[in-house]
Amino acid sequence: MGNYIESLPDGWTIYLWLVIGAMIILAVVYWIRWGAKNDQFNEDIKYVVFTEDDKDKMDPAEYAKSREVMKAQIASRIEFKAREEAKRHKQGA
């Protein structure tokens, strides 16, 4: 392998860098697309960390928003679990 690399003409490494750069760009595009499809860029996710105990520390509008976001997150999770269960049931049948 070492002899093969030494026998290559000058300037071959630029092509290696171009291929690696293209692979990195494709990977980044894939992961950004995945994140967009899976609500990873949802700014309301910050409200998930708040609990009922934080009510006195928050503005009433923010607290209401946090409860609304939590309800949506719980509903999304229940829907996801139902789809996974249906998929698992379908594969088992």
pLDDT digits (tens, 9 = 90+) for 37-81: 987 888 888 888 888 888 889 899 998 999 999 999 899 899 999
| 8 Å CB contact between 43 and 66 | no
User: In the chain, helix, strand, coil percent, each to 5?
Assistant: 85, 0, 15
Residues ≥6 apart with Cβ < 8 Å to 70: 47, 48, 50
pLDDT for res 93 = 60
Residue spans per domain, the chain? 1-40, 42-93
pLDDT tens digits along 6-45:
887 888 889 999 999 999 999 999 999 999 998 788 888 8
Look up residue 38 and give its DSSP letter.
T
Integer Cα distance of 41 and 45 in angstroms: 8
Q: What would you measure as the largest C-alpha separation in the chain, in angstroms? A: 73
pTM for the structure as a whole: 0.57
